[in-house]
């Protein structure tokens, strides 16, 4: 019984760490996407003003 509880605790800990990593990577991807779109829009505006 103790072994089953230990395995379940290990699985729970692994899922907790994985969830935190995925959540962090998700927000980094969102920020990166916003910055990419902002840079693309800025470049499009600048190139349009030169022509």
- Predicted pLDDT of residue 51: 58
Residues 6 or more apart whose Cβ sits within 8 Å of residue 20: none
- Predicted pLDDT of residue 46: 86
CA–CA separation, 36 and 26 (whole Å): 15
Which residue blocks in the chain are alpha helix, DSSP H? Answer: 2-50
- Predicted pLDDT of residue 47: 84
The pLDDT tens digits of the residues spanning 1-51 come to 889 999 999 999 999 999 989 998 998 999 999 999 999 999 888 888 765
Domain range summary for the chain, segments of one domain joined by +: 21-51
- Predicted pLDDT of residue 50: 65
């Amino acid at each position: 019984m103790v072994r089953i509880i230990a395995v379940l605790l290990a699985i729970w800990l692994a899922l907790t760490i994985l969830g935190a990593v995925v959540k962090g990577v998700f927000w980094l991807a969102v920020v990166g996407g916003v910055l990419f779109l902002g840079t693309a829009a800025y470049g499009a505006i600048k190139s349009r003003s030169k022509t």
